[in-house]
Amino acid sequence: MNSTNNLYNLTVHEAHELLKAKKVSSVELTQACLDHIKRVEPKVCAIVTVTEEVALQKAREADERIAQGKIAPLTGIPTLIKDNMCTRGIRTTCSSKMLENFIPPYNATVIEKLGAAGMVLIGKANMDEYAMGSSTENSAFFTTHNPWDLARVPGGSSGGSAAGVAASEALFALGSDTGGSIRQPAGFCNVTGLKPTYGRVSRYGLVAFASSLDQIGPLTKDALDCALVMNVISGYDRRDSTSASESVPDYTKGLPHDLKGMKLGIPKEYFVEGMQSEVESAIKVAIQQLEKLGAKVEWGVSLPHTKYALPVYYIIAPSEASANLARYDGSKYGFSYKDTESMWEGMEKTKQFGFGPEVKRRIMLGTYALSAGYYDAYYLKAQKVRTLIRRDFDAAFEKYDALVTPTSPTVPFKIGEKTDNPLQMYLSDVCTLPINIAGVPAISIPAGFVHGLPVGMQIIGKPFSEPTLFKVSHAYQQVTDWHKRTAKL
């Protein structure tokens, strides 16, 4: 292979063909990624723990499996996992001081499934602490840099996963998405990222943030890879009682080259005030491309409760977080502050020094919203408006197969630009939050560049319509090459 076609630049499906034909071994592919990580990681800072020994061991096992003719689509593929998914025997930090030395005694279901498929775990990806943030600047360890401009954020909270794939440190990654944490960084880093339908992928072993909103999904170099990963990680799991029992189709089947017969709606509320005009223009061009592919596009669709999604989200997510994170009391695992007079004081100091500012802010906010006297005004009210937001989507999906919007109102912002103003940071997720509130699936795909920075297009579907999202994305990627552009590092 020549230098412009390095192994680490391959997609999953391209690498699979080479592995299957025994033109390349998983050890060679894995070593190529590990060497590349050594070169680019000092610039990108996407990985909390590089699992070099585990990776090479798994690569050798994959090669044995391939020699026996037992190759599956993800066998031998170097993979990056967001550091909030439990990996047995491998440190899982949530990019928090609280879990800095936590070694999980079990695997998340997605890790078990990928492991059975022959995945090569190459590292645990950096993130905003406990997945709370939109830039990775809330990581307790370091900030990840956007491969397209190292002075800018990669988005968050799955910023390490997105930047790692964009920098070709791994062939694909898993992230988690509570309010946009897969799609916003995917858009910022020019990769494909899917937030599946709530319940489609088991959350067992995912460190809980907001349980009614959290969902695991893939970050990949194209839609076909995304479908391949979803084939492996989707499905019912008895250990996650909110996982869905709907059967899992083969997501790679029937991906078309055109969109004839597809009805797409463009919700006007997602072209928000304060949106960068160049981003708006880029998305409009991308939508015209979908039209050229044969889709029937209708502009001016209204989801009237969209503007309430931000406050609803920032009541519900912190409320659930305040309950979920109460477990970090320094008694069973994680950081424990011991130098105090009493047990209660020790618990308070454990939280004070174990959590970073944004996590503490959200615990406080959620505690307030759930506290006596405020529950009805905040939490219950937010749950009722959540119903109205869901109904908006239900009504839209009676008319349209999918909705198309920008993933973010802006291109990636500069590191440090929004850290002093939590509300400004929250606004960067304004196009992605409503999707988690409604529990529907949405994908972000590369859709252009503005001043050399990526723009993501979000495609939203009804529950369990992942096949529709893959159809639109794949057809678009057959006639565009945004997703093939790689950052120069």
Partner 1 sequence: MKLSREEVVHIAALARMGMSEADIEKAREQLSNILENFEVLKEVDTADVPPTAQSINLQNVMRDDIAAPSLPAEDIMANAPDREEDLFKLRAVLDLD
- In this chain, which stretch among 61-69, 119-127, 237-245, 411-419 interacts with partner 1, using CB under 8 A? 237-245
Range 133-172, binding partner 1 (CB under 8 A) = none
Collapsing DSSP to helix, strand or coil, 473 comes out as: helix
Catalytic site residue from 157, 158, 176, 202:
157
Name the DSSP class of 246.
S
Annotation says 181 is catalytic: yes
Pairing relation of β-strands 172-177 and 296-301? Answer: unpaired
* Residue with smaller CB distance to partner 1, 259 or 359: 359
Range 85-104, binding partner 1 (CB under 8 A) = 102-103
Q: Closest distance between partner 1 and the C-beta of residue 359, in Å?
A: 10
384 binds partner 1 (CB under 8 A): yes
Annotation says 360 is catalytic: no
Of residues 3, 5, 241, 247, which one binds partner 1 by CB under 8 A? 241
For the chain, the maximum distance between any two Cα atoms, rounded to a whole number of angstroms, is 70
Q: Closest distance between partner 1 and the C-beta of residue 207, in Å?
A: 13
Instruction: Give me the residue label for tokens 């499996």.
Output: 65
Of residues 4, 68, 247, 342, which one binds partner 1 by CB under 8 A? 342
Tell me which H or E stretch contains 448.
strand 442-450
| Cβ atoms within 10 Å of 340's Cβ, excluding its own | 13
Instruction: Give me the residue label for tokens 């909705």.
Output: 403
Beta carbons of 451 and 411 less than 8 angstroms apart: yes
x-or-dash string of contact with partner 1, 195-234, rule CB under 8 A: ---xx------------x----------------------
d(CA 140, CA 129): 6
Which among 419, 471, 415 has a CA at the least distance from the CA of 445?
A: 471
Q: Closest distance between partner 1 and the C-beta of residue 439, in Å?
A: 2
Annotation says 82 is catalytic: yes
334 binds partner 1 (CB under 8 A): yes
Beta carbons of 354 and 98 less than 8 angstroms apart: yes
Q: Closest distance between partner 1 and the C-beta of residue 375, in Å?
A: 11
Tokens of 480: 């565009």
299 binds partner 1 (CB under 8 A): no
Catalytic site residue from 181, 243, 319, 322:
181
Q: Closest distance between partner 1 and the C-beta of residue 310, in Å?
A: 8
- In this chain, which stretch among 21-29, 122-130, 279-287, 350-358 interacts with partner 1, using CB under 8 A? 350-358
* Residue with smaller CB distance to partner 1, 251 or 308: 308
360 binds partner 1 (CB under 8 A): yes
What is the end-to-end Cα distance of the chain in Å, rounded?
19
Which among 307, 313, 311, 305 has a CA at the least distance from the CA of 273?
A: 307
380 binds partner 1 (CB under 8 A): yes
% helix / strand / coil in the chain, to the nearest 5?
45, 15, 40
Q: Distances from the Cα of 441 to the Cαs of 13, 142, 264, 334, in angstroms?
A: 23, 30, 15, 33
DSSP labels, 383-428: HHHHHHHHHHHHHHHHH-SEEEEES-SSSPPBTTSSTT-HHHHHHT
Of residues 281, 288, 302, 331, which one binds partner 1 by CB under 8 A? 331
300 binds partner 1 (CB under 8 A): no
348 binds partner 1 (CB under 8 A): yes
d(CA 220, CA 464): 20
460 binds partner 1 (CB under 8 A): no
Q: Binding residues for partner 1, per CB under 8 A?
A: 102-103, 105-106, 198-199, 212, 238, 241-242, 244, 305, 307-308, 310-312, 314-315, 322, 326, 329-334, 336, 338, 342-349, 351-353, 360-361, 363-365, 367-368, 371, 378, 380-388, 390, 422-423, 437-440, 463
